[in-house]
Amino acid sequence: MSTTSISVNGKAPDAARGIETQMLPPPSWVDDKPSLRDITDDIARPLEARPGKGWWICFGIAFAALLNLGGMVTYLFAKGIGIWGLNNSVGWAFDITNFVFWVGIGHAGTLISAILLLFRQQWRTSINRSAEAMTIFAVMCAGMFPAIHMGRPWDAFFIFPYFPNQRGPLWVNFRSPLVWDVFAISTYLTISLVFWYLGMIPDLATLRDRATGKIKKFAFRLLSLGWNGSHRTWSRYEIVSLVLAGLATPLVLSVHSIVSMDFATSLLPGWHTTIFPPYFVAGAIYSGFGMVLTLLIITRSTMNLQRYITLRHLDKMAKVTMLTGMIVSYAYLTEFFSAWYGGNLYERYHFINRATGPYAWCFYLMVLCNVVTPQLLWSRKARTSVRFLFIVSIMVNIGMWFERFVIIVVSLHRAFLPSGWGMFYPTIFDIGILVGSFGLFFTCFLLFIRLLPMIAMWEIKGVVGHGAHKMALSSDEDQEEVAVNA
Amino acid sequence: MPSSFLVATFTDAEKLLHAVRAVRQENLRIYDVYAPYPIHGLDAAMGVRRTRLPWVTFLVGCCALAFAVTFQFYTTVLDWPLNVGGKPDNSTLAFVPICFELTVLLSGLATVAALFLRARLYPGKKESLFAEGVTNDTFALVLRKREAPFDLHRARKLLQESGADRIREREMEQ
Most confident segment among A20-24, A379-383, A403-407, B168-172: A403-407
What is the three-class DSSP state of B122? coil
A220 and B CB contact within 8 Å: no
Q: Which residues pair with B139 in a beta bridge?
A: B10
Amino acid at B125: K
Apex CA A234: angle with CA A228 and CA A238, to 5°? Answer: 145
CB contacts of B42 in chain A (<8 Å) are 231, 235
Residue B166: the pLDDT is 82
Residue A209: the pLDDT is 87
DSSP designation for A123? G
A352 and B CB contact within 8 Å: no
Amino acid at A18: G
DSSP designation for A230? B
Contact A428, A124 (CB under 8 A): no
Is residue A71 scored above 90 in pLDDT? Answer: yes
Which chain A residue shows the shortest CA-CA distance from B34?
Answer: A230
The verdict on a CB contact (< 8 Å) between A231 and B48 is yes
* Cα A126 → chain centroid: 15
Nearby residues of A68 by Cβ (< 8 Å), 6 or more positions away: A432, A435, A436, A439
Residue B148: the pLDDT is 59
Give how far B1 is from chain A: nearest CA, Å: 20
pLDDT in tens, A236-261: 999 999 999 999 999 999 999 999 99
Contact A313, A126 (CB under 8 A): yes
How many beta carbons lie within 10 A of that of residue B110, not counting itself? 18
Nearby residues of B163 by Cβ (< 8 Å), 6 or more positions away: B10, B12, B15, B18, B19
Contact A159, A183 (CB under 8 A): no
Residue A404: the pLDDT is 93
Euclidean distance between the first and the last CA atom of chain A, given in angstroms as a whole number: 15
How many beta carbons lie within 10 A of that of residue A80, not counting itself? 11
A437 vs A396: CA distance, rounded Å: 18
Model confidence band, residue A378 (pLDDT cutoffs 50, 70, 90) = very high
DSSP designation for A122? G
Nearby residues of B107 by Cβ (< 8 Å), 6 or more positions away: A247, B56, B57, B58, B60, B61, B64
Give how far A428 is from chain B: nearest CA, Å: 37
Q: Which residues pair with B3 in a beta bridge?
A: B172
